[in-house]
Each structure stands twice: as structure tokens, then as C-alpha cells.
Structure 1
Amino acid sequence: MQSDFQEVFLVIFTSLFLLVLLVGFIVIMLILNQKSRQAQAQELRLMKERYEQELLKSQLEIQENVFGHLSQEIHDNIGQSLTFVALSLLTVPVENNSEAHEYIEESRKALQKAITELRDLSRSLHTDRVTEIGLANSIDFELERLKRTNLYETSFNFADVRNLLDHQTEIILFRIVQEMLNNIVKHAKATKVEVRLSHKTDIIILEIKDNGVGFDPEALFAKQERLKGLGLMNIKKRASLIGGTFHINSAKNSGTAIRITIPINKESLHEHNQESEI
């Protein structure tokens, strides 16, 4: 009797042991499978991000090439043609006190203003100019253009960031500033624009503030994501492309403040220090 009980106990114990092993094996396989799926999802996400970054790089390269061609076209053809017309108006044989002279003088002034605006636009579009005069001067140039409309008060506080960023990063950051200023002109209904460019030990900080109508950032980002729009989403992607972070603080009727933080290019800083020692 006792022998039968021991055999039954042994069978039950063995069955339970095997069942536990089976359950453990299944659990381990499920965990490994879950980790594998997570790893695959992570890899797919990284591949998607790399693809989007490469696509954005290509788009920016194409954009800069188009800007360069437009800048050259404005300078070489449109600007020269308008200058020729302005000079021709000066040679029109009319009396100084006549009505025609006053009309021609007003036309010449309007034409000269258009030539100045086109020249400024050509400079803003040309990539090499950003490299030549530097990021701070390029931003200051854009703010002066904005100020000349007599619609905005502008202020610009900046530190010396020359040689702290590579040229490509400077250009992308400058295009970000242009796009943000363009957004202010189009949507903000602001009267004041403040820009601050500063740097700490290993980062450069760009801040742009306006006193406009403001908006709900989360709602706007969600809308742009659904519609695959550009705007702030595009600015955020550009900042990410150069290793930066993008933060926006805005509310309705409270203006908007945008802050972009960019890591300092160590190689450029090292080269700058070597030049200073020499």
C-alpha cells in the first residue's frame, strides 16, 4: 500500500515538475519573443528616423541650391533690369516743376526702394553670405529688414559664437530663424520681436520671443502632424537634425517664446583655440 502511494506521489511530483518546467519554458520564450519584437520595433524606428533625417538633409541641400540660383537670378537679371529702368527715368527730358517730373520722381523712389528690397532678399537667400558674415550678423540683417517695415520693434542681444558651430549648422540655424520670423509676420499679429543668441560651456542657445496673439502648441503640432504640414514641425525636425532641442512656450493672447539649444561643435572650438594661440 505504501509502495503504491509512493509511486503515485512520484508520478504527481514528476508531472508537476515537468509542468513547471513547461510553463517556465513558455514564459521564457514569451519574454524573449517580446524582447525580440521590441528590438525589431526599435530598429525600425531608428531606421525610420535615419531615413527621415537623410530625406530632410536632401531637401535642405536642394533648397539651398534653389536659393542660390534665385539669389543669383535676382542679382544678375532682375536687379540690373530695375537699375537700368531707374537710370532711364533720370534722363527723361521734363521740366523740374512740371506734374510729370513729380510723377517720375515718385516712381523713381518707389523703384529704388524695390531695388533695395530685392538686393536684401538676394543676400538673405545666398548661402555663402551666412558663412561670410557669420550667424549673428545674418540674424541682425534679417531683423533690420523687419524693422524697416515700421510694423515691428526689434531687439537682438548676442554673444560671440563665431567658430563655435560648423558652417552647415550655422546655415540650418539661420534658416530656422528666417522661418520663425516668417511665422511671426504671417500669424502672430505682433508688434515686438526679441532675439537672443547666447552660449554656455558646451551649448548655444537661440531664443525668439514676440508679443503676438499666441496659440496652443499641442493642438497646432497635432494638426500639423495629421496634415503632414511644415511650420513648427519642420523647425523642430531641423533642430533635431543638427543635434538640437526645441522648446516652445505659448498661450492665446500671451505671445510666444521659442528656445533652441544646440551643442557646440568641439572640433570648431578646438580649431578656434589653436588660431587664438597662434
Structure 2
Amino acid sequence: MLGKQLFFLLIIIGFKFATGQPNELDSLKTVVNLMPEDSLKCETYLRIADLLYSGEESEWYANKALRLSKNLNSPRLIGRSYHRLAWCHGLDEMDKKTAYLDSATIRFTSIADNYGLGSVYDTKGTILMAYGSISEALKAYQQAYDFYSKIPDSERQAGVLNNWAIAEYTGGNTKEALYKFQKALDYRITEKPISHIDIARLYQGLGECHRINGDMEMAATNYLKGYEHRNAVENIGVVESMLSLASLIYEAAERKMDTLAIVGLVNDYGFVSSLHLIESAEKTRGIADRIGMKNAIMDVRRQRNILNKDFKAAYEILLKQKQLQEEYKLSESSLEAMADMKVKFEKDQLKIKLLEEEVVNQKSQDRMTMLLFSLGALLLIAIIGLLYYQNRVKTGQLKLNEAHREQQIVSMRSMLEGQEKERSRIARDLHDGLGNLLSTLKVNIGSLQINFDDKNSKKIYGSASQMIDEACIEVRKIAHEMMPQALKKLGLRKALEDLVLKMDAIHEFDAEFHVHGKERIFDDSTNVMLFRIVQEALNNIVRYAKAKEVSVQITYSEDWFDLTIEDDGIGFDPNALDTDKGMGLKSIAFRTEFIKGTYDLTSRPGVGTLVTINIPLNNIPEA
């Protein structure tokens, strides 16, 4: 087995050096189909997914790696596969990204893989930054740094410090950002060989922090150091350095600050003026197909024109930027569609001309023109009449559907409210009525001082007392399940946490509960619906899933409330579900619609089940 792995590893290296780095992806796609089902093949799948970065093809290879890693029963590779799957999805699929990251966390934690856990929390920080959750991102980077510190891995610590520092100054804490940038830089300048690009990014970050603090000269010094490292490896990032320096000079001038010292520093690097910086950026090789950089150059030129009060030139640049953006939006697919439409249009036009020529040969042009005009008018009237009729029918149908839906919602609300009131009444009657009666019975029996003559009577007495205790416990349990007190007293979050903990304690699977974001307080009706959804989903897992691990997660973002329930059980095909069964799933969908949310069920045989509930916060009344 080791010999085969070495053989395929040599093939991969040979492809890489023979064809060059740009063709590495094609080489790996060719080699992976020839490899045996082992860990090296799984690593290759992950490398292909990493090179593809995101999208359906990247997700396909990451899922291949996940299936193979599960067959190999390798928690490390399973965790890496989940981590890669999180990167395959865009930021508009936050629920999937967080679910995959949580699954990766579980696998890495099971084997105490600090490197894997560091990678997961570093990724979480990046995602949270993109969503604008700076405080949560800072916590994630702290955890990533702590995990890498346990290995220790200074290179990865430096990478996290760079991301962490960006989060710090984005949140306004430039002091901490400067400390973290400098700490990462202290490591980068000592590693062998040094990474000029990583060092340049750190100097760029230091420059941004000093610029925010108003220390323009120190900002220029760091921008120039970053330029020096990027220029050493002919990296296109020199464009960012040059534009930052030019923009810095203009900003200092706008703020009525002395720019002589900054210009002097720039002159030492061979640039005679801020305009020379811009022109050098425009001449940088490889910028022609970089829309973002071309747009950044226009931004700095426009800033220069505004400073010089040349507003006409600034406006013309703004128009060019708009045109550039419009041209960028015309993707290849849209151009092909337009070409197809043009060909079809030309064919239709040719047919019309042939028909016109045939008619002209039979009748005079005047009569034909009149006839065509009359036919066109009739056709137009007919089309208008048809469209009017269809619109009336459609409007009537929409009104009918809306009325039917409103009736369903009213019926649904009445039924659910009636169910919850009945549950609450039964729970109260059980607790206050039967519960108190049993407690009184227990006290009365216990107060009896009976001397039994034989052991059998004494045994029966003890058994009866024990049965009364068990009845009291069962009554309290039923009453609690019908209307949990934690939901009313402590709110949704605590009630769900109690529910998950109880499931974890009494069932064989391991259940976890996670909360992300700042908690929002909802009205009682919404809390009850969400609690019943989770309760029903967990009951389904107990009855059918045969799961080993269960995760319940709620996420509060700025505009959405997200709820996910995931298990690693046997799964099923939702399309093949018997219509007479699945009442629990119908109940979940029913309650989700009641609170104006969306419900998604993802499951396949052998890969578990994921239930996702998304509710816009503007649809949820607050308490």
C-alpha cells in the first residue's frame, strides 16, 4: 500500500513539474481516477476542490473526498472535507457554511486536532467579517490563534494575526491592529525563505492603521516597504502600494497637512510626483484584465481632479467607471444569448420579406398594404382583447388564491392556538390536579403507622408507595413536555438548550446546541412554534434516524433568524416518502409557514438529514 502511494505521489509531482503550475488542476483530475481508494486519493480530491475554490464542481470533488474519508473512517480527513465544503458555498448560503464548519469542528475535536480546529475558526472569522459581525470575528480569530499556539505553528499564527489585525482596525481598534500586524511581521522577516508577498501585506496593513491614526508619514513609510517587497518578486500588488501612496498624498493635502515629508520619501524610491505613481500603476504588466485595479486607478485619478477642482474631468472619469462596470456585466453567456437572438430575429425578418414578395406578385402593393394594415389592426385588437381577458382571469385567480390562503392562515392560526391552549390546560390540570392529588395520597399513606404481620403485606405497601412516586414523576414529565416552563420563564434559547440536554442525557446519540449572534426576544406564539419544530425534529431523529451525533443550531443575524437541526443518521429520500407517513415533517412545514418562514429538508440515504428554517426578522413580532 505504501509503495502504491509513493508511486502516485511521484506521478503527481511529475505532472506538476512537467506541465507547470497552471496545469496542475488538469493533471490532478487525470491522475485521481487511476488512484486506489486510500487517503492519498482523498487528499487529491481535496486539493482539486481547493484549486477550484468554489462552485458546483468544487463541491462535487469535496463531496467525493467526504464519502471516501467516511469509508476510510478517518476523522481528520472527514473534518477537512467538511471544512472544504464550507468554502464551496457563497456567503448567501450562511446556514450551509456554518453547518459544515460545525461538523468539521466535531470531527477535529474528537481527535484533538488543533491544526484542523485552528483552520475552522480562522475560516469562521473570515465569514463573520464578510457579514459585518466584527465582535464575533474577533472571538473566532482568538480561538484560531489559541489552537495554533498549542501545536505550535508560528507560520499559521502569523496568518491568523494578519486576519485578526484587519478585523481589529475595521472595528476601530488600531492600537491592537498595530500590535498584531507587528507581531506577525516579526515572524515573517525571520522565516527562511522569506515570503515577500506576505510581508508586503503586513506592511500594507500597518500603513492603513497609521493612516487612520493620522500619522501620514509613518503610513507612507510602511506603504513603501510593502512596495519594495512586492517589487522584489514582480508581484502585481505593487499597483495597490503605488495607488495607496498617491491617495495618501491627496488625502493629506485635503486635510491641509504638510506633504513635503511624504513626497520626499516617495522621491527616494524614484517617483517624482503623485502623478508618476498613478502612471506607473497604469503601466504595470498584467493590469489589462484586472477590472478591480483599473477601477481603483480611476478612483485615485478622480480624487486628484477633485483636489485640483477639475470637476468636469472627475465627472468624465466617473462616467468611464460606470461604462467599465456595465461592460464587465456582459458575460460570455449573455453575449452568446444576444447573438442567438440576433440570428433568430434575422431569420424571422427574412421569412417576412419572402412572404411580402410572394403577395406583391399576386396583388398590387396598395391593396396588400391595406390588407396587411387591416390584418395587423385586427390582430392587435385580438391580442389586446386576449391579454385583457387573460389578465382578468389571472387577477381573479390570484384574488381567489389569496382569499383561500388567508382562510387557510386563519384556520391554521385558530387550530395551532387551540392546540397550544389545550396543551397548556391539560398540563396545568395534570400538574395542579392529578399531581397534587398524588402528592397528597403519598403524604397520607406515608403518615399511616401500620405494623404488618407478614413480609408480603409490607412488600405490597412499599411497592404501592413506590408506584405513587413514579406516577408523580411521570405526571410532571408529561406536563413539562406539553408546556415546558423554561419556555415561558427563560425564553426560547434556554428552553431549546434544556430540550437538547435532556435528549442527550436519555438517548444514545450525542446532542449539541449552538447559538450564534446576539439573541433577539420573540413573542410567545413564535417561541412556541419554534420550540415545537425542534421538538418534532428531535422526536423524528429518535424514532427513525439511528444517529450517533445531533446538532441543533440557531443564528441571529441582522435581518434573519436561522434554525438548523442536523444528524448523521441513516437518512432517506424525501421524494420517495410515503404520503400517508411523514406527519412530523408536515407538522414542521405547517408551523414554519405559520410564522412566515421557509423550510428546507436535505437528506440522502446513508448521509444523514439537515433541516433548515429561515425566517426574516421583520416577520417576527418582538416581545
Q: TM-score range by the shorter chain?
A: 0.7 to 0.9
Alpha-carbon spacing, 1:244–1:115, altered in 2? closer, same or farther (3 Å): same
Pairwise CA distance, 1:104: 5.2
* Matched residue, 1:154: 511
2:482 aligned partner, one-letter code: L
Larger radius of gyration: 2
Counterparts of 1:159-238 in structure 2, within 5 Å, are 159=516, 162-220=519-577, 223-224=578-579, 227=580, 230-238=583-591
2:420 aligned partner, one-letter code: E
* Matched residue, 1:4: none
Alignment of 1:256 with 2:609, yes or no, is yes
Alignment of 1:130 with 2:483, yes or no, is no
Pairwise CA distance, 1:265: 4.9
The 2-side partners of 1:84 and 1:152 are apart by 38
Pairwise CA distance, 1:73: 1.3
* Matched residue, 2:271: none
> Of Structure 1 and Structure 2, which has the larger fraction of its residues in strand?
1
* 8 A contact 1:94–1:100 mirrored in 2: no
1:57 aligned partner, one-letter code: R
Pairwise CA distance, 1:203: 1.5
Counterpart of 1:242 (choices 567, 585, 595) is 595
Pairwise CA distance, 1:21: 1.2
* Matched residue, 1:66: 422
The 1-side partners of 2:404 and 2:619 are apart by 28
Counterparts of 1:25-36 in structure 2, within 5 Å, are 25-36=381-392
Q: What runs of 5+ residues in structure 2 fail to find an aligned partner? A: 1-362
Pairwise CA distance, 1:135: 0.4
Pairwise CA distance, 1:199: 1.4
Alpha-carbon spacing, 1:127–1:168, altered in 2? closer, same or farther (3 Å): farther
Pairwise CA distance, 1:13: 4.0
* 8 A contact 2:518–2:557 mirrored in 1: no
Alpha-carbon spacing, 1:105–1:147, altered in 2? closer, same or farther (3 Å): farther
Higher relative contact order (CA 8 A, sep 6+): 1
The 1-side partners of 2:400 and 2:485 are apart by 37
Alpha-carbon spacing, 1:108–1:136, altered in 2? closer, same or farther (3 Å): farther
* Matched residue, 1:274: none
TM-score (norm. length: structure 1): 0.77
1:197 aligned partner, one-letter code: I
* Matched residue, 2:39: none
- What is the percentage of aligned positions where both structures have the same residue? 27
Alpha-carbon spacing, 1:160–1:121, altered in 2? closer, same or farther (3 Å): farther
2:614 aligned partner, one-letter code: T
The 1-side partners of 2:431 and 2:525 are apart by 24
Pairwise CA distance, 1:235: 1.2
Pairwise CA distance, 1:58: 0.7
The 1-side partners of 2:499 and 2:575 are apart by 28
Q: For each residue in 1:135-160, what CA deviation from the matched residue of structure 2 results, as whole angstroms up to 9, or x when unmatched?
A: 01211232343344344432222257
SS, match of residue 554 in structure 2: strand
* Matched residue, 2:502: 145
Computed over aligned residues only, the root mean square deviation of the Cα atoms, in angstroms, reads: 3.3
Alignment of 1:42 with 2:395, yes or no, is no
The 2-side partners of 1:208 and 1:255 are apart by 11
1:63 aligned partner, one-letter code: Q
> Of Structure 1 and Structure 2, which has the larger fraction of its residues in helix?
2
* 8 A contact 2:602–2:610 mirrored in 1: yes
Q: What runs of 5+ residues in structure 1 fail to find an aligned partner? A: 1-6, 272-278
1:75 aligned partner, one-letter code: H
Counterpart of 2:413 (choices 57, 63, 80) is 57
SS, match of residue 434 in structure 2: helix
* 8 A contact 1:196–1:207 mirrored in 2: yes
* 8 A contact 2:526–2:620 mirrored in 1: no
TM-score (norm. length: structure 2): 0.37
